[in-house]
Chains A and B, each alone.
Chain A
Amino acid sequence: MTKVVPVLTVIVALVLIWYAAAVGMNAQWARDQAARAETTLGFGELVVDTWSQDRPVLPAPHQVAQGLYDSVLAIKPTSKRSLVYHGWITLSATLAGFGIGTLAGIALAVGIVHSRAMDMSVMPWAIASQTIPILAIAPMIIVVLNSIGISGLLPKAIISAYLSFFPVVVGMVKGLRAPDAMQLDQMRTWSATNSQTFWRLRLPSSMPYLFASLKVAIAAALVGTIVAELPAGATRGLGARLLSGSYYGQTVQIWSALFAAAALAAALVVIVGLIERGVLKRMGMAQ
């Protein structure tokens, strides 16, 4: 609880800076308008104007809040202008991709831990792939899959799956190898089989590592979906909202979509974190 005050202070400071920046960045337009109308603006008028423009360079916090309210609460969730609608499109592809990527990642990690050939062949590539901006291939995958008649959720899910796959592989291999030599020797003194060692020692030991990488993976999956919604033609999803906002200079729309994406990311990471807490607690690993 001692953290609440500093965190709130920092947040309030950020909001104040934001308001000040809105004045600075929108002032030019306000002055131009005034000059065109051949009037001059007092400081008070200038501030009020910069915080209430239609297409500000930087919308003020309350304008973004208003934009969020309009597109989340004040509108039917099925409407094409509702962020709930677009958020759901993005969320469903993210979850589908995350699920596929996680399962595939765990499966590959199990293979790597049990087969030296797979370990030596695949692991260097899995690690190297983390240094590559994989996201760059998103537009290509979308277009290619579209051209062979696959569209909608699946192409986006494939990209999120791909992005969540590698963190899970790397984390899970680490986790399955977490038991130390003594614990493995202990299993050998009991003549445990490979599968007994796996289910009773390796898998439980890997849980903290798995969850750490799941948090990275779900954030990556969301970014993947959003970027996959960028290629021209996409009209649904938070990424498409960002893009159309930037086409038409609708800054409030961009910021609203951005905050919706941020809230979604935060919610997903928090949910994974809660599941982690629950699982580790039940396993007696969280003290």
Chain B
Amino acid sequence: MKTPVINAKGVCLTFETNDGPVQALKDVDLGIERGEFVSFIGPSGCGKTTFLRCIAGLEVPTGGTLTVNGLTPDEARKARSYGYVFQAAGLYPWRTIAGNIKLPLEIMGYSKADQEKRVEKVLGLVELDSFGKKFPWQLSGGMQQRASIARALAFDADILLMDEPFGALDEIVRDHLNEQLLALWARTQKTIGFVTHSIPEAVYLSTKIVVMSPRPGRIAEVIESTLPRERPLDIRESPEFIALAHRVREGLREGHDA
């Protein structure tokens, strides 16, 4: 049997703060297979961001083992195995949209011609074809966030980590971006780790929903989605969807009482 792309065994992380230690993650066991879309959901402060950052090698677990593509997170980071999308778009105001997408490509040493080709391709993927020459502040919030996703897709990483990428956007824009993200996932076959605190968003997008609970941050429940891969927006009115959403809500409540 092949090992999962992301494999966590007993991952713990304790922050040393001025007010004493804070246990952000406790005994997290999780395997994510290639091509899965995994959502992390839970109340704020339950360690979703911290776990994603551990996968990205931005934090180092204080216990347990964690591998990404069979490498340590740090090696995976150096091998440029994933793209990371933060909650804020974080585009550089002094670069155009195309310039922003090129930034990681420049850093990773892609050739000029290759850079142009890739920029064009990912701008198409996020439907921003004609906006390459615009500056970020000339775009709406939703378009900026799409540009930042394009930036994470521009290089050949087969993992995409997203930390509440649509958290700051309104409901309508969010629905649209969710739909686009699914289409993009279907086309690119990437493995996606996605943090959210919206139940419908988690259910709509994921093949696997990881419900987390706080103090200390841990996994309360892992729910495998029964929805088909092909998901039109109105699937959210189906009984199957509602049943899943209910299970997630129950999981969150139990985690909270514990």
Query: B82 near A189 (CB under 8 angstroms)?
Result: yes
Nearest chain A CB to B58 CB, angstrom units: 5
Cβ of B56 within 8 Å of any chain A Cβ, yes or no, is yes
Cβ of B104 within 8 Å of any chain A Cβ, yes or no, is yes
Query: A200 near B107 (CB under 8 angstroms)?
Result: yes
- Of chain B, the residue at the smallest CB distance from A196 is B107
In the complex, number of A-B residue pairs with CB atoms less than 8 Å apart: 52
Query: B86 near A284 (CB under 8 angstroms)?
Result: no
Cβ of B95 within 8 Å of any chain A Cβ, yes or no, is yes
Nearest chain A CB to B50 CB, angstrom units: 13
Q: Which residues of B from 74 to 92 have beta carbons under 8 Å from A? A: 77-78, 80, 82-84, 86, 88, 90, 92
Which of A189, A192, A285 touches B84 (beta carbons < 8 Å)? A189
Cβ of A183 within 8 Å of any chain B Cβ, yes or no, is yes
Query: B86 near A285 (CB under 8 angstroms)?
Result: no
CB-defined contacts of B15 to chain A, threshold 8 Å: none
- If A190-B104, A190-B107, A200-B103 touch, whether A185 touches B94 (CB-CB below 8 Å) is no
Query: B135 near A182 (CB under 8 angstroms)?
Result: no
Query: A204 near B92 (CB under 8 angstroms)?
Result: yes
Query: A284 near B137 (CB under 8 angstroms)?
Result: yes
Number of residues on chain B facing chain A (CB within 8 A): 25
CB-defined contacts of A189 to chain B, threshold 8 Å: 56, 58, 77, 82-84
Cβ of B96 within 8 Å of any chain A Cβ, yes or no, is yes
CB-defined contacts of A182 to chain B, threshold 8 Å: 86, 88, 90
Nearest chain A CB to B193 CB, angstrom units: 13
Cβ of B124 within 8 Å of any chain A Cβ, yes or no, is no
Which of B77, B83, B88, B93 touches A191 (beta carbons < 8 Å)? B77
A155 vs B99: C-alpha distance in the bound complex, in angstroms?
Answer: 46
Query: A284 near B58 (CB under 8 angstroms)?
Result: no
Query: A188 near B104 (CB under 8 angstroms)?
Result: no
Cβ of A232 within 8 Å of any chain B Cβ, yes or no, is no
A204 vs B93: C-alpha distance in the bound complex, in angstroms?
Answer: 10
CB-defined contacts of B83 to chain A, threshold 8 Å: 189
CB-defined contacts of A201 to chain B, threshold 8 Å: 92
The range of chain A's interface size is 10 to 19
CB-defined contacts of B258 to chain A, threshold 8 Å: none
- Of chain A, the residue at the smallest CB distance from B152 is A189
- Of chain B, the residue at the smallest CB distance from A193 is B107
Cβ of A130 within 8 Å of any chain B Cβ, yes or no, is no
Cβ of A287 within 8 Å of any chain B Cβ, yes or no, is yes
- If A182-B86, A200-B103 touch, whether A190 touches B80 (CB-CB below 8 Å) is yes
Interface of A is mostly: helix
Cβ of A186 within 8 Å of any chain B Cβ, yes or no, is yes
A287 vs B77: C-alpha distance in the bound complex, in angstroms?
Answer: 35
Cβ of A8 within 8 Å of any chain B Cβ, yes or no, is no
Cβ of B129 within 8 Å of any chain A Cβ, yes or no, is no
CB-defined contacts of B56 to chain A, threshold 8 Å: 189
Cβ of B113 within 8 Å of any chain A Cβ, yes or no, is no
Query: A191 near B94 (CB under 8 angstroms)?
Result: no
Cβ of A7 within 8 Å of any chain B Cβ, yes or no, is no
Cβ of A283 within 8 Å of any chain B Cβ, yes or no, is yes
- Of chain B, the residue at the smallest CB distance from A183 is B90
Query: B135 near A284 (CB under 8 angstroms)?
Result: yes
A23 vs B228: C-alpha distance in the bound complex, in angstroms?
Answer: 93
Query: B58 near A285 (CB under 8 angstroms)?
Result: no
Which of B58, B80, B103, B107 touches A185 (beta carbons < 8 Å)? B58
Query: A287 near B137 (CB under 8 angstroms)?
Result: yes
Which of B93, B96, B108 touches A190 (beta carbons < 8 Å)? B108
A188 vs B53: C-alpha distance in the bound complex, in angstroms?
Answer: 11
Nearest chain B CB to A116 CB, angstrom units: 19
- If A182-B86, A287-B137 touch, whether A192 touches B94 (CB-CB below 8 Å) is no
CB-defined contacts of B88 to chain A, threshold 8 Å: 182
Cβ of B224 within 8 Å of any chain A Cβ, yes or no, is no
Nearest chain B CB to A206 CB, angstrom units: 11
A287 vs B93: C-alpha distance in the bound complex, in angstroms?
Answer: 10
- Of chain B, the residue at the smallest CB distance from A280 is B94
CB-defined contacts of A200 to chain B, threshold 8 Å: 103, 106-107
* Binary flags per residue of B66-79, CB closer than 8 Å to A gives 1, else 0: 00000000000110
Top 8 closest pairs, chain A to chain B, by CB: A283-B94, A189-B84, A284-B135, A190-B104, A192-B107, A284-B94, A190-B107, A191-B78
10 contacts between A and B (CB under 8 A): A183-B90, A185-B53, A191-B77, A191-B108, A196-B107, A204-B92, A207-B94, A283-B93, A283-B94, A284-B96
Task: For the A-B complex with A191-B77, A191-B108 known, give 8 more contacts whose Cβ atoms are closer than 8 Å.
Answer: A187-B107, A188-B58, A189-B77, A189-B82, A190-B103, A200-B103, A204-B92, A284-B137
